[in-house]
A and B are shown apart, each in its own frame.
Chain A
Amino acid sequence: MRKLLLIPICFFALAVPVVVLANGVNGGFDRVVSSIEARYHVHADRIPLLGLVNFVARASTNDGVHGMHVAEIEGFETDVNGEELNKLVAEKLGAGWERVIRETSRNGGNQTLIFMRPEGSRMGMFVLDLDGHEMDVVEMSVDPEHLSENIGKYEHHERD
């Protein structure tokens, strides 16, 4: 009986720091999401237990992906000015981030922004995608070499 009790206790003991750590260092991401909420009068839904998802993602990709932040924002009623959105994101993300891809439609319904920044041997990636009334914002840190190895494994499986 004691052993059975130990399992959930250990689980929570491990899960709580993971969740806290995962939500701790996300300044740029939070600033972007808050600014979008304020500017366009929308509300962002955070993914519950993302810390745990991060933990699993980190383990399953051999540290290929970690520090994942995801926000889903619904209810965009007005057209979004691509130039303005780009400026807002670049400003709130802060120094070090470089925009590598931008796709924008004149009517404002579709906007895609991808920013990257070197983080030592890793690469930070920030992706924002607006499709109609819904926007997805994702930030993560990837290890290109580990991730490439993992993707390679599945590619070889597919060839076989």
Chain B
Amino acid sequence: MKSLVAIWVLCVAGLATAIAQSGLPLPSPVEKELAARASNVTEVTLGKNMLAFAAKFLDGKDKDDEATRHLIEGLDGIYVRAYEFDKEGQYSPDDVEKLRSYFGTTDWSSIVRNRDRKSGESTDVMMKMVNGQPHGLFVLDAEPRELNIVLILGPVKMEDLSRLSGIGGLGVLGDLDTDSHGNTNRNKDKDKDKDKTKPPKAKTGGEE
């Protein structure tokens, strides 16, 4: 019996190590609850190996495709979760806060923070800085009946992000835009009560 327990523990540890090595996080406990309440759930999980393979589908002769290919090949992973709900109020601000704190650890800095008090919509964009260079992007977009999480790990250039919006579940990145100074904006006419912070200049702790 003891050996069976030991094997089981080793298997779980092995699985956790494998996921950790892929660079992508384990799903947060809140996600399980959200998935149970959501009417539709979409999950996209692409590790480094899969991204390298997926990049081969892009035509190397086309300039745009070549640039996208280069961007994808350099990434460590893409993690997308989209939850759709039948009605409003299926998730609480507390759930959103739990997600934000689960993904946005101290390595991450908030660069966009939008709150619409009337509708309850919110958008958070956080960036992971390594040696002053962006090395990850986290987007949490909460709408009354929808909750989207996008996590991109690896070297990311803000100006190249829109190239990824064609990938399943990454449509939310099409809403992000950068100005000539590299500042990130969110293109949504309905955004109100904006509370934007400027992009980080160096590695800093979370700003929430």
Binding site for B on A (CB under 8 A): 82, 98-107, 110, 116, 118, 123, 144-145, 147-149, 151-152, 155
Contact = CB atoms under 8 A, between A and B. Distances in A.
B50 to A, nearest CB: 6
B164 to A, nearest CB: 15
A50 B47 CA distance: 32
Interface residues of B, number: 21
A118 B53 CA distance: 8
Contact of B49 (A118, A145, A149, A151): A118
Interface of B: 38-47, 49-50, 53-54, 56-59, 61-62, 168
A98 B58 contact: no
Contacts, number: 53
Contacts of B40: 103-106, 110
A148 B57 contact: yes
A110 B46 CA distance: 22
A146 to B, nearest CB: 10
Contacts of A99: 45
A149 B59 contact: yes
9 contacts: A99-B45, A100-B44, A100-B50, A101-B45, A102-B41, A105-B39, A123-B53, A147-B57, A149-B59
B43 A102 contact: yes
Given A106-B38, A118-B49, A118-B53, A101 B44 contact: yes
B57 A144 contact: yes
Interface centre among A98, A110, A151 (most CB of B within 10 A): A98
Contacts of A104: 40-41
A151 B43 CA distance: 26
B78 to A, nearest CB: 9
Nearest to A147: B57
Nearest to B49: A118
A148 B56 contact: yes
A127 to B, nearest CB: 13
A24 B111 CA distance: 54
A118 B52 CA distance: 10
